[in-house]
Amino acid sequence: MTGDKTLLLLIPTTSYQTRNFMRAATKLSANVVVGTDAANILKSPDDHLLQIDLMNVAASVSIIKEAARSRPFHAIIGVDDLTTLIAATASQELGLSHNPVEAVNTCNNKYDFRRKLEVGNLWSKSFYRIDRDKDLAWQGRKLPYPMVLKPLSLSGSRGVIRVNNDNEYGVAIDRICKILDRKDIPVAADLRRFILAEEYIPGEEIAVEAVIADDTLKILAIFDKPDPLEGPYFEETIYVTPSHHSPAMIQALQEVLTDIARVLGIRQGPIHAEFRINETGIYVIEISPRSIGGLCGRLLETGLGMNIEELIVRLSLDEKQPDLPVVDTAQAVMMIPIPAAGTFLGLNGVRDAKEVEFVTDVVISIPVGQEIVPLPEGNQYLGFIFAEGSDLTTVETAVRSAHQKLRFDIGEKRDTAP
């Protein structure tokens, strides 16, 4: 019975997924302890809360092990790149089912990830590790442009820049170094020293959501990205599903993703992956042993018959994976881009945007008064626009039309220390 099981949920206070995870655990009558970085937890006597330092894996694992002495955990779930590593390490220490720590570490280091795939004969493109402690200009002169530069561990296209020549390389390197030098950026010290340079791969980009259960990888959804992501920055704006790709291509994706998971050592739980597809093949951009971030997971609910967080909780508590319905409904989400840096003062047009045909919701997720920064320095979106309809063109048009109704008021950026 799940009522006899206790789940430790590791989740940052900024996560959109907290509510859905809690509802799922309640629905399954599981006990839940939330491990998070909220400072005000110390003032709370609630034994369902556990304060941890998400930037310190060893310290967090020590706290979790101590808590498990009085309340044993059946499973530990991490929801992002930081917490998945803590979850895997703590699970290993406590003898719980988990993905290998080495596999999670590899996914969190883009250079190690490329090397692992290369050794496993799953990567054939050029990639290099730029060492910030050596002559940066000299290292750039050997690159076969066009290349994509990126930090080793940040997500959401943060710090990802395409460069086509030495001049663009110098400018991009300077910007990425400034990002990595910020003290508020969640990057381990040993990862701040290096920058990945990898061969630019043209083609269509897609995102794939999958789970591994009972030693089998199953694709839950494929999200097409209709906007061309050619650089110099790679702001993901619109996802649409189901994919327009053929059953043969989807089967090929399933086989490639299965091979990648095997080579990396990922053996259970959710997987979020990004791919590029062109006439020469299928190329994985990145993979994480977690589910999709933000509110984009809403697009999975129709196909799953539940939200993705409930499926993850079910699998972690050894519940049988449910049969997934066949869904023909087309869906889209637009992650509303930040048009300029500054102070978010508000917006108009939300009501008009919600009244656009086929639009199901408009969510503004950044509070008024907050400083906002576009990519490549930033890592947030202003909100999300959702649509549902009979075909992919209809829902894509709907979210674009709704976006045109919004009018953002952005004030001058305040001077703040990096």
Pick from 142, 389, 155: which is nearest to 290 by CA? 155
Assigned domain for 342 exists: yes
- Say yes or no: 24 and 70 in one domain: yes
Q: Residue 165 belongs to a domain with what CATH number?
A: 3.30.1490.20
Query: With 90 as the cut, is the pLDDT of residue 324 above it?
Result: no
- Give the residue with greater pLDDT, 399 vs 308: 399
pTM: 0.91
| Dihedral sign from CA coordinates of 195, 417, 56, 308 | negative
Per-residue pLDDT, 282: 96
- Give the residue with greater pLDDT, 101 vs 41: 101
Q: Which helix (H) or strand (E) holds 311?
A: helix 308-316
Share of residues in the chain with pLDDT > 90 (%):
71
Please name the residue that has the structure tokens 């699970």: 91
pLDDT, tens digit, 9 for 90 and up, residues 329-378: 899 999 999 999 999 999 999 999 999 999 999 999 899 999 999 989 98
Query: With 80 as the cut, is the pLDDT of residue 205 above it?
Result: yes
As given in the structure block, the two tokens for residue 163 are: 């460069």
Q: Which helix (H) or strand (E) holds 220?
A: strand 216-224
Query: With 50 as the cut, is the pLDDT of residue 1 above it?
Result: no
Query: With 70 as the cut, is the pLDDT of residue 10 above it?
Result: yes
Assigned domain for 359 exists: yes
Per-residue pLDDT, 18: 78
Assigned domain for 406 exists: yes
Mean of the per-residue pLDDT values of the chain: 90
- Give the residue with greater pLDDT, 145 vs 306: 145
- Say yes or no: 77 and 137 in one domain: no
Q: Give the domain range for residue 339.
A: 328-418
- Say yes or no: 411 and 336 in one domain: yes
How does residue 195 score in pLDDT terms, banded at 50, 70 and 90? Answer: very high
Query: With 60 as the cut, is the pLDDT of residue 418 above it?
Result: no
- Say yes or no: 8 and 95 in one domain: yes
Pick from 318, 335, 379, 348: which is nearest to 5 by CA? 318
- Say yes or no: 29 and 87 in one domain: yes
pLDDT, tens digit, 9 for 90 and up, residues 66-88: 999 999 999 999 988 889 999 99
pLDDT, tens digit, 9 for 90 and up, residues 13-62: 767 677 888 888 888 888 889 998 865 444 444 568 899 988 889 999 99
Which one of 138, 165, 199 terminates a domain? Answer: 199
Domain total for the chain? 3
Q: Residue 36 belongs to a domain with what CATH number?
A: 3.40.50.20
Pick from 105, 28, 30, 95: which is nearest to 68 by CA? 95
Assigned domain for 398 exists: yes
Per-residue pLDDT, 326: 55
Which one of 99, 116, 147 terminates a domain? Answer: 99
- Say yes or no: 89 and 131 in one domain: no
- Say yes or no: 88 and 136 in one domain: no
- Say yes or no: 31 and 89 in one domain: yes
Assigned domain for 114 exists: no
pLDDT, tens digit, 9 for 90 and up, residues 164-179: 999 999 999 999 999 9
Query: With 80 as the cut, is the pLDDT of residue 270 above it?
Result: yes
Q: Residue 350 belongs to a domain with what CATH number?
A: 3.30.470.20
- Say yes or no: 136 and 89 in one domain: no
Q: Comparing 7-16, 188-197, 227-236, 378-387, which segment has the lowest mean pLDDT?
A: 7-16
Assigned domain for 91 exists: yes
Per-residue pLDDT, 414: 62
Question: In this structure, how many other beta carbons lie within 10 angstroms of the beta carbon of residue 393?
Answer: 14
Which one of 80, 99, 118 terminates a domain? Answer: 99
Residues in CB range of 70: below 8 A, 6 or more apart: none
Assigned domain for 371 exists: yes
- Say yes or no: 95 and 130 in one domain: no
Assigned domain for 332 exists: yes
Per-residue pLDDT, 42: 42
Per-residue pLDDT, 302: 77
- Say yes or no: 83 and 168 in one domain: no
- Say yes or no: 333 and 379 in one domain: yes
